Amino acid sequence: MNTKDLIKPILLIALTLILTFPASAQSEFFPVGYYRDVVRFSQQNPTGSARVRALGGAGVSLGGDISHTMLNPAGLGFMRKSEYHVSLGVGLTNSTTSGEGISGTAGQTRLFVPQIGAVFSSSKSSTTGSSKWRGGAFAISFNRIADFNSDVSYVDRSGNPTSLLNAFEESAYGASQGFMDEEKRFSPTTFAGMAYQLNLIKPVFDRSSGSADYHDPNFYYYTLDRDTDGFTTSRITERTHLVETRGGQYETSFAYGGNFDDKLYIGAKVGIQNVNYTKNSQYVELRDTDLTFLGLNERFRTTGWGINLQTGVIWRPIDAIRLGATITSPTWYALTDYYQATTTRNGSYNWNDATYQEKHFKDGQSYIYNPDGLDLYNPNAEDKDYRFSGRESSAHDEIRTRYNMNTPWKASGGVSGFFGKKGFLTLDVEYIGYSAMQLNKGTTYYYEYTTNPVEEMLNFTGDNAILDEEYRNTINIRVGGEYRLGKSFMLRAGYAYYQDPHKEEYRFVDQSRSFYSGGLGYRNNTFYADFSVVHSRWKGTESPYQLEDNFVDGDGNTILIYPIIDVDYSRTEFQLSVGKRF
């Protein structure tokens, strides 16, 4: 990974910080970028029955499967019998981290329910009456559309000079000493507050509560002793990071597909989506001296509901060819985030403000690190030693945020070609309009279960600026085929490629996904059973913290200094679907 290629993402992160800061420093506590939620809940996997998943998830033009409640409701018009359907699956997810001085692997196995549903057909024979309307089918199905289950675990001995302390220090930017003293006295609501409570950061200009600018938000804070570049002189010898994500995204679909003259099929559906996402992170820094242990545990959860609409059509000009198309509205979500963190430190170190200033004041300039890059010097720093030792932790009550978001709109087209009764090939092309993503109407709730609850309105200007600037519209491709082995048995194979929505200049890594699939099927007049295997691979990144400020070398090149870990993911899913026609 070329660090110079990451300049624009870092600058954009900084832009987000600037645009999203309200007057209160409390907003700093949240993980930067609610835009990540929009992107996460906009990316879905090939879904459906084992039959359709074995075909790479393709089938917009195919028809005749309960999965068309999601793929294309017009396909329900092909179903001449009612049926019940249930699918069960197991998924094996693995991750491998890489980089200089970085190593780690993790894996897990999870059971899941991909699809449950029923189809109620009212199809009419072409010999019944003179009308060309052949009736149709109504279906209800519950579908898993995204899986968030994964583990990432690694050890970092790369020697990266930055620290979580720098993130704490940056998070204090814009906070008055009065606010920080309140954080220390009561339950902290910010990263900076936890660090201040544990004596990990201190104000450059320490003032009493009677000072006129005690509540001035333009305060600067610094952390333990560091060199002139802003890096702690007691360097980190080892970092460990464990990230566990759990949950999924589901849709309950209500769909109808009708048949006109066995040539034109039309349909529509209403989808009710549900999100259940959790992410737990445990990060630790180890040093040989002074602050020997510094840890941050974060717990993040998102739940909520959304609704979308879809309409579709399939045209069969001749028996061997079918053409299909759909358009799907954005999903309009109302979500709730819950966030909680705990910081723990252990060590034994002295702190003397005057000694610190003397060590860092050189040639008329002070090298105290701060987001604005200012040269700060306090000639009246207190010349007194303070000793901090032992193990202490700082935590806060859970903070809740409610907000609305829109996921992308989608349009898809497909073609299927049949080879008599021997089999078929089917191809889908799906266009995802990420430009429609939007966040709005956010409110954060502090101290909800106390006598003094606080509400704060959120400004999503920065997040929406990221969505507009960093993401592009994409095209996904799915292709599959089926070959009939005999009267009742079928062999299937497929492939899907889902494009990375990040614009190239903003990518850390290419996060496009590839899905390789295959399976077998059995059919008779009243019963069917299908089995599929889907193997997917993709890349991602993890960062234990992020910094707005970055080191600039002697040539003026911005160098990314906070840790970004490359992660290779793979998942293999086995799915069995059975159905009973009636």
Question: Is 204:378 a contact under the CB 8 Å cutoff?
Answer: yes
339 pLDDT above the threshold of 60: yes
Question: Is 60:78 a contact under the CB 8 Å cutoff?
Answer: no
pLDDT digits (tens, 9 = 90+) for 97-116: 988 899 999 999 999 999 99
Strand-pairing partners, residue 495, are 479, 516
4 pLDDT above the threshold of 80: no
Residues 381, 489: Cα–Cα separation, whole Å: 83
Instruction: Place 134 in a pLDDT band, splitting at 50, 70 and 90.
Output: confident
User: Which pLDDT value is given to residue 211?
Assistant: 86
User: Which pLDDT value is given to residue 527?
Assistant: 95
Pick 367 or 282 by higher pLDDT.
282
User: Which pLDDT value is given to residue 33?
Assistant: 66
Burial letters 176-212, b for 16+ CB under 10 A, else e:
bbbbbeebbeebbbbbbbbbbbbebbbbbbeeeeeee
6 pLDDT above the threshold of 60: no
Residues 102, 240: Cα–Cα separation, whole Å: 10
Q: State the average pLDDT over residues 445-473.
A: 86
Please, what is the average pLDDT of the chain? 87
- Which of 74-78, 234-238, 281-285 shows the lowest mean pLDDT across its residues? 234-238
User: Which pLDDT value is given to residue 480?
Assistant: 97
Of 540, 538, 537, 569, which Cα lies nearest the Cα of 105? 569
Residues 558, 570: Cα–Cα separation, whole Å: 33
Number of neighbouring beta carbons within 10 Å of residue 524: 10
495 pLDDT above the threshold of 70: yes
User: Which pLDDT value is given to residue 17?
Assistant: 35
Q: State the average pLDDT over residues 389-399.
A: 90
Domains and CATH numbers, the chain: 3-202+220-339+391-581 (2.40.160.60)
Instruction: Place 522 in a pLDDT band, splitting at 50, 70 and 90.
Output: very high
Highest mean pLDDT pick, 18-32, 156-170, 215-229, 354-368: 156-170
User: Which pLDDT value is given to residue 369?
Assistant: 64
Instruction: Place 212 in a pLDDT band, splitting at 50, 70 and 90.
Output: confident
Instruction: Place 561 in a pLDDT band, splitting at 50, 70 and 90.
Output: confident
Instruction: Place 472 in a pLDDT band, splitting at 50, 70 and 90.
Output: very high
User: Which pLDDT value is given to residue 382?
Assistant: 87
Question: Is 308:332 a contact under the CB 8 Å cutoff?
Answer: yes
With H, G, I as helix, E, B as strand and everything else as coil, classify residue 503. coil
Residue that is written with structure tokens 């066995």 in the block = 262
Share of the chain above pLDDT 90, in %: 60
Instruction: Place 56 in a pLDDT band, splitting at 50, 70 and 90.
Output: very high
pTM: 0.85
Instruction: Place 462 in a pLDDT band, splitting at 50, 70 and 90.
Output: confident
Q: State the average pLDDT over residues 31-58.
A: 86
DSSP 174: T
20 pLDDT above the threshold of 50: no
267 pLDDT above the threshold of 90: yes
User: Which pLDDT value is given to residue 367?
Assistant: 63
Residues 149, 469: Cα–Cα separation, whole Å: 29
Q: State the average pLDDT over residues 140-151.
A: 95
User: Which pLDDT value is given to residue 291?
Assistant: 92
Both tokens of residue 77?
């018009």
Residue that is written with structure tokens 């780690």 in the block = 104
User: Which pLDDT value is given to residue 207?
Assistant: 83
**Per-residue CA distances from 221 to 199, 363, 382 (Å):** 11, 22, 15
User: Which pLDDT value is given to residue 21?
Assistant: 35
